[in-house]
Amino acid sequence: MSPKLQPVRGTHDILPEEFEKFHAVVTRARELATLYGFREMATPIFEQTEVFSRSMGETSDVVSKEMFTFPTKGEESVTLRPEFTAGIVRAFLSNGMQQHLPLKLFSTGPLFRYERPQKGRQRQFHQVNFEYFGYDSPAADVETICLAGHLLYSLSGKTGCTLLINTLGDKESREKYRNALVDYLTPYAKDMSEDSQRRLVSNPLRILDSKSEQDKKIIHDAPKITDYLSSSAKTRFDFVCETLSKMPAMQPMKVSPSLVRGLDYYTDTIFEFVAETGELGTQNTVLAGGRYDGLVEQLGGNSVPAIGFAAGIERLLLLTKTLEWDNVRQLKIMILPFEAVLPEATLMIAAILRNELYAHQRKTNLKWKFTVESLWQGNLKKRMERAAQRNADYVIILGPEEVSRDACVVKNMKTGKQEEVSLANLKDENKLIELFNITQDPGFRRNDEK
Ligand code: ATP
Ligand code: MG
């Protein structure tokens, strides 16, 4: 026998039970996207390599070592998307979307990074992603961070995370800070990790993000960006921090001067939500983002301010063990024909039920989940057991006698009650509603409503 086929290292299958949770996270994100005025769009999962290398920065970890890049048959270099922002900005430009500012866009789907797989870190992972183009006020920063906090809160009843926030300042502030940082770090260069020694030349701000203990000691007394901000960058950051500190859902919140984020395109406000609990180990950042006012121009457009963030779905799932699942009512009907019954009769009943139930659902906008399934194999007793195991609410038993009378027996699995029902009645919407006890849920009511 040939060896069992396995998924590629760093990828994983999302089996039905897990997928339900996965889906619930995406649903919450989608609902909140609508609530905050974001519209969903999708970009291809691969782009010309340039889209990423020109935006994220050649020296960033992602571009320098984590991209899945390959040539097409036409010898064009393409890359599986390692993040959403660059592709969305490319789409923004390709489709002339700057005509429609301000624009708020939501996306979700798989991302690919060649990383060392560990808990909360895969080579194919998934994100929900939000981008807000065309409004440069710090009010947009606050609203976007509130949305991020709301998303985490909606998943676990609390954010369960600390909001870390920092500013990279405007270009002028960053330039001044970069010089001060290099001046401070240079005398320690020989004691720093190899990565940091390289970054001292290529990307010194990233050294602040180093995980090396020795580096951390050196960084401890490094100059802080907040002391190098221009007055407009400082005013902006003060507004963002003060306003957020008044929002109860944003607590706890910490200004973190060493927060830098890995990509080159960030400017001004940057933020992360990190898990307080140890559940995520070292992969404790669940959501991250920031302002990127220069990126649209860098990719060939006009200057368009923008801010965005992304949350890793796998990490959200590790965090939200107590996720409150959507409480959608279900109606599961399983049809169990006697062996002597021809398949036509079973197929016919299934077709009638599916058509009628689905039409009723569409007409009334009912939020129930309907399932109609036939169980063909095994003896009747075994099939009854299987229907119970799979949480059937009703089973339809179909013997030759019922078929000859154009009828079937419907059994309520909770009460054990059973009755014969004619096919004509199954086609009657009102009778169907009564038979399966389908009610329109009252939905949400305010306390003061009668
Ligand atoms: P990290 O520091 O953990 O590598 P990052 O800064 O590279 O994260 P971003 O590019 O900001 O991450 O992506 C935003 C979010 O996407 C992260 O906070 C995380 O939840 C998720 N994420 C990033 N890379 C991976 C991965 N390889 N596997 C699973 N989730 C990931
Ligand atoms: Mg990373």
For residue 210, is it within any domain?
no
CB neighbour burial string for 404-440, b if at least 16 within 10 angstroms, e if fewer: eeebbbbbebeeeeeeebebebbeeeeebbebbebee
pLDDT of residue 155: 85
pLDDT tens digits, one per residue of 377-429 = 989 999 999 999 999 999 999 999 999 999 999 999 999 999 999 999 999 99
For residue 183, is it within any domain?
no
- Cα–Cα distance for residue pair 376/378, rounded to 1 Å: 7
pLDDT tens digits, one per residue of 213-258 = 999 999 999 999 999 999 999 999 999 999 999 998 888 899 998 8
- Residue type, position 420, single letter: E
pLDDT of residue 262: 73
Domains held by the chain: number: 2
State whether 129 and 83 are in the same domain: yes
- Cα–Cα distance for residue pair 323/421, rounded to 1 Å: 40
The answer, yes or no, to whether any atom of ligand 1 lies below 6 A from the CB of 383, is no
Structure tokens at 11: 């990828």
State whether 308 and 333 are in the same domain: no
State whether 342 and 298 are in the same domain: no
- Centre of ligand 2 to C-alpha 428, Å, is 57
Mean pLDDT score across all residues of the chain: 91
For residue 127, give the ligand 1 atom closest to its CA: 16
pLDDT of residue 324: 55
CATH of the domain at 363: 3.40.50.800
Asked if pLDDT for residue 292 goes beyond 80, the answer is: yes
Which residue, judged by its Cα, is nearest atom 4 of ligand 1? 283
Mutate to test the pocket of ligand 1, among 122, 283, 292 (most ligand atoms within 8 A of CB): 283
Structure tokens at 354: 């599916």
The answer, yes or no, to whether any atom of ligand 1 lies below 6 A from the CB of 314, is yes
pLDDT tens digits, one per residue of 432-450 = 999 999 987 665 544 444 4
User: What is the number of the ligand closest to the CA of 211?
Assistant: 1
State whether 252 and 379 are in the same domain: no
DSSP string, 388-430: HHTT-SEEEEE-HHHHHTTEEEEEETTT--EEEEEHHHHT-HH
State whether 295 and 340 are in the same domain: no
The pLDDT > 70 percentage for the chain reads: 95
State whether 307 and 351 are in the same domain: no
For 400, the domain range is 328-435
The answer, yes or no, to whether any atom of ligand 1 lies below 6 A from the CB of 86, is no
The answer, yes or no, to whether any atom of ligand 1 lies below 6 A from the CB of 210, is no
pLDDT of residue 50: 95
pLDDT tens digits, one per residue of 124-156 = 999 999 999 999 999 999 999 999 999 998 887
